[in-house]
Structure 1
Amino acid sequence: MTRRLLLSYLSLTLLVLLGLEVPLGYFYARGEVSRFTADGRHSAELLAQALEVRVEQRAASDVPELVSDFVEDDGSHVLVVDATGKVLADSDEAIALGTDLSAQSDIAAALRDRSLSTTRENRAVQGDTFTVTVPGSSGTTVRCVVRVSYPVGPVTAKIHGIWTTLALIGLGVLVAVAAIAFALAHWVTGPVRALERATAELADGSLKAPPTTSQGPPELRRLTNTFTRTATRLQHLLQAQRAFASEASHQLKTPLTALRLRLENFEPYLDPRAHDSLEEAVGEVERLGRMVHGLLALARLDNSATAPEATDLDAVVADRAATWTAFAAEHYVDIVVTGDPAGRVWAVPGALEQVIDNLLSNALRVTPPGTAIPAFDRFWRAADSYHEGTGLGLPIVRQLTRAGGGDVVLQAAPGGGLDAVVRLRPVLEQPTGTPRRARSGQREEWVSVF
């Protein structure tokens, strides 16, 4: 943002400078050229009048001296011819006296009492010249013609000098504006940068250093104050929510355990016809206990910021498969681990064990076919499911997997049911192998490394 503000200030300043300096330089150059040509014509006319007097008085011998004096003053080149077009004097002595130049266009025009001026190359001054050809006449009688060539170099250098001066002035202004604009942009965007840092910190879990509100424009300071109050209140609400979930879960565990024991103690004293109801009640208490345990797990996930560690996925899969084999045998199903070794992956400590346990626990329950499952919503269970469950297993799986930088998705299994595909980040880049599959009955659980 600072760079964009700085560029906008400099762009605006550059436009203003161009709008001021270009017309100024243009009009100055036109003025210099106009003065140069006007002075050249006037000087040539004055010289022609002086020489016309000398020629009229038959004092042609004075012409070279007057020409020399004129050339010494401004460094021009002068050529004088008489009324017939023959050379009377040449300041450079490049043309012999008496040479007939009446055929040249400017000389011919001046002999007809017409003045001409043009810019052309002249070897005598080694560059372009402004040449003026004027007649020396009294009335309509032309007694001589004067051609004066002024070097254009000095006026061109002067014009270039003014353009250079304007450019340096503009550069100096741009540098000054850049320094001022940078300071101003830094002052304006200071609160914005502080808000950005605070927002990133809040997104990571907590705002430890609220942004300061003593710098920047009043509007941004008010925005910073509002953000700080909002962030503080949000953190308090989140902390209260987490504390409530954790505390409530802890407080419920002991009464639920005591309630289950009391219900089990009733069994010898109840009528046999009430035993089924007692078993259902005990089952509901046990399910409520598992839900409390799941709430505790979610609360710990929400409150923890444990960094992922390198974990041997193959060892964890083998260990959990061995642990669950006996329990799965009670349901008359087998657990089979297939696929190539996956190696080490990034995971939160202890997360992979919980992920596999939850997936295998879900796999051992029958899910009604054709049911659309919002699988990662907390407390979700199929409406017609009669199996025990809390609806917290898959949310725990998702949060544990994402905490290590991975992800989990559910896909329709080819033979019915669902495939839970867990994607984890490998510690070292390696070719993707066959996914590790933990199979239980009609449900298949996948652990893939990509």
Structure 2
Amino acid sequence: MTRRLLLSYLALAVVVLAGLEIPLGVIYARGETSRASQSVERDAAMLAEVTEENIEKGQFDALPDVVGDYATRTGGHVVVTDKQGIVLADSDLAARTGISLAGQPDIARALSNQTTVTITTDGGGRDVLSATMPGTSGNFVRGTLRLTYPLDQVSTRVHRIWGALALAGACILALVALVAFSMARWITRPLRTLEAATTQLADGHLAHPPDATTGPPELRQLAISFTRTATRLQHLIKAQQAFASEASHQLKTPLTALRLRLENFEPYLDPRAHGSLDEAVGEVERLGRMVQGLLALARLENSATTAEPVDLDAVLADRVAMWESLAAEQYVALDITGPPVGQVWAIPGALEQIIDNLLANALRVSPPSTTIALHRGPGGELHIIDQGPGMNAADRERAFDRFWRSSGSHHDGTGLGLPIVRHLVDASGGTITLHPAPGTGLDARIQLRPAAPRSGGLRPGGEDFGPRRTHGHHAQTAGQR
């Protein structure tokens, strides 16, 4: 913004200077030409009187001295003719005398007792100021005189004034640029501090509030309002984080006690009520998992973490190794396929939670003797494909809604696993979508941003992450559809 303000000030200064200096330069150039024209006309009239007197007295030999002396003093060129237009004298020693110039327009007009003052071009291509005067005695024309004066000196003076105007304009522009830069920095300083404060607030903290002591009053008031709003937001975020932390402990204890009390009822109940008791204990356990999921989701939403490069191949191999026991118990195989992906952008710990939640969901719906494929695609793509019942299009649209469970679902999920996964993927700058798998099942497709190009199939430690087939296990089932 400083640059734009500076350019706008300079553009305005250029327009003002051009509006002042260009007319001034034009007026000066016209004035110089007018003064030179008047001077040449005056000198031509004076010389015409002198030469007319010499012609009248028949003193033709004096004419070369008169015109030669003037040409030497002023640098002009003088030509004198008689009343028939025959050249009597020429200040140019190389020019011929005795030739007729009566056919030239200015000489013809002078022979008709008319004066001609004009700008023309001489034989060398230079611009000259020409004044042609009749030499008269009363109304009788005895001869003519042409005086030409080069405009080189006039042009030099005009160019000098244009240069002076340009130099003055440059100095003024430099001064305007200095003042404009200082003013632009003063105006934009609160905006720069406000931008830095906004970035800090987006990262979850405001260590340096925006400067509210400099700049225009409107921007100072904006900085004060922003600081007040940011302080309020930080207070609310800290209160919500404190609530999530405290609720995790406060709710866990009564739920555990409720489950124990229900289980203690079992010896005293009629056997026919044991089924209802098991269902009640299961609902309490589900309520506990739901509370944990809600608190985990709240902690994720309240935290602002910057994505970092993470080795997807290493994390994928590690999580599959952790799940092999549980997968073996359910007679489900885990198969990692596709070329190594390398590093992708993800917030710390997110990739592990994403894979754990999706594997927990896939194992929950996978029939025995089936395979869960973890396929790596180009550009940071990961597919987790099961061979379960899958979802229809309407269910896939709502699968990421909180607490939503498929109408055909018979498991005890809380409906928070996929929302947590989507939040982690979004926070990492990626996307997740659900698609029908070939044949039957569900394809959870995750697209993360590659962090760096990768060559070959080995990670830095040298371990090959090519296609492999294993069985998996995990200590906790954190994700539920």
TM-score bracket for the superposition, by shorter chain length: 0.7 to 0.9
Shift of 1:282: 0.3
2:376: which partner in 1? none
Q: Secondary structure at the match of 1:89?
A: strand
Q: Secondary structure at the match of 1:201?
A: helix
1:264: which partner in 2? 263
Shift of 1:258: 1.8
* Contact kept? 1:113, 1:135, Cα under 8 Å: yes
Shift of 1:55: 2.1
The one-letter amino acid paired with 2:359 is L
Shift of 1:222: 0.1
Q: Secondary structure at the match of 1:319?
A: helix
The one-letter amino acid paired with 1:421 is R
Instruction: Measure the CA separation in 1 of the matches of 2:426 and 2:188.
Output: 34
Q: Secondary structure at the match of 2:49?
A: helix
* Contact kept? 1:77, 1:149, Cα under 8 Å: yes
Q: Secondary structure at the match of 1:94?
A: coil
**What aligned pairs does 1:172-183 form with structure 2 within 5 A after superposition?**
172-183=171-182
Q: Secondary structure at the match of 1:23?
A: helix
1:94: which partner in 2? 94
* Contact kept? 1:245, 1:296, Cα under 8 Å: yes
2:142: which partner in 1? 143
Instruction: Measure the CA separation in 2 of the matches of 1:27 and 1:257.
Output: 98
* Contact kept? 1:64, 1:89, Cα under 8 Å: yes
1:316: which partner in 2? 318
Calculate the aligned-residue CA RMSD, in Å. Answer: 3.0
Shift of 1:340: 2.9
Structure 2: gaps of 5 or more residues: 366-388, 458-465, 473-481
Equivalent position to 1:429, from 435, 450, 453: 453
* Contact kept? 2:127, 2:151, Cα under 8 Å: yes
Is 1:156 the counterpart of 2:155? The answer is yes
1:380: which partner in 2? 404
* Contact kept? 1:198, 1:209, Cα under 8 Å: yes
Instruction: Measure the CA separation in 2 of the matches of 1:242 and 1:327.
Output: 38
1:169: which partner in 2? 168
Is 1:420 the counterpart of 2:422? The answer is no
Q: Secondary structure at the match of 2:403?
A: coil
Q: Secondary structure at the match of 2:398?
A: coil
Instruction: Measure the CA separation in 2 of the matches of 1:304 and 1:217.
Output: 33
* Contact kept? 1:367, 1:385, Cα under 8 Å: no
2:111: which partner in 1? 111
Is 1:400 the counterpart of 2:396? The answer is no
Instruction: Measure the CA separation in 1 of the matches of 2:416 and 2:60.
Output: 123
* Contact kept? 2:324, 2:470, Cα under 8 Å: no
* Contact kept? 2:390, 2:436, Cα under 8 Å: no
* Contact kept? 1:76, 1:150, Cα under 8 Å: yes
**What aligned pairs does 1:8-407 form with structure 2 within 5 A after superposition?**
8-122=8-122, 127-301=126-300, 302-303=302-303, 305=305, 308=308, 309-310=310-311, 312-329=314-331, 334-340=332-338, 342=340, 344-346=342-344, 347-348=346-347, 350-363=349-362, 364-365=364-365, 369=392, 371-372=394-395, 373-382=397-406, 385-407=409-431
Shift of 1:426: 4.9
Shift of 1:429: 2.4
Q: Secondary structure at the match of 1:189?
A: helix
Shift of 1:94: 2.4
Q: Secondary structure at the match of 2:121?
A: strand
Q: Secondary structure at the match of 1:146?
A: strand
1:448: which partner in 2? none
Instruction: Measure the CA separation in 1 of the matches of 2:343 and 2:428.
Output: 9
* Contact kept? 2:316, 2:355, Cα under 8 Å: no
Shift of 1:317: 4.4
* Contact kept? 1:85, 1:101, Cα under 8 Å: yes
Instruction: Measure the CA separation in 1 of the matches of 2:61 and 2:269.
Output: 157
* Contact kept? 1:313, 1:343, Cα under 8 Å: no
Shift of 1:242: 1.9
Structure 1: gaps of 5 or more residues: 441-450
* Contact kept? 2:197, 2:210, Cα under 8 Å: yes
Q: Deviations over 1:4-57 (max 9, x none)?
A: 111111111111111111111112211221221122112111211122122223
Q: Report the CA distance shift for 1:425/1:39 in structure 2 as closer, same or farther (over 3 A).
A: closer
1:445: which partner in 2? none
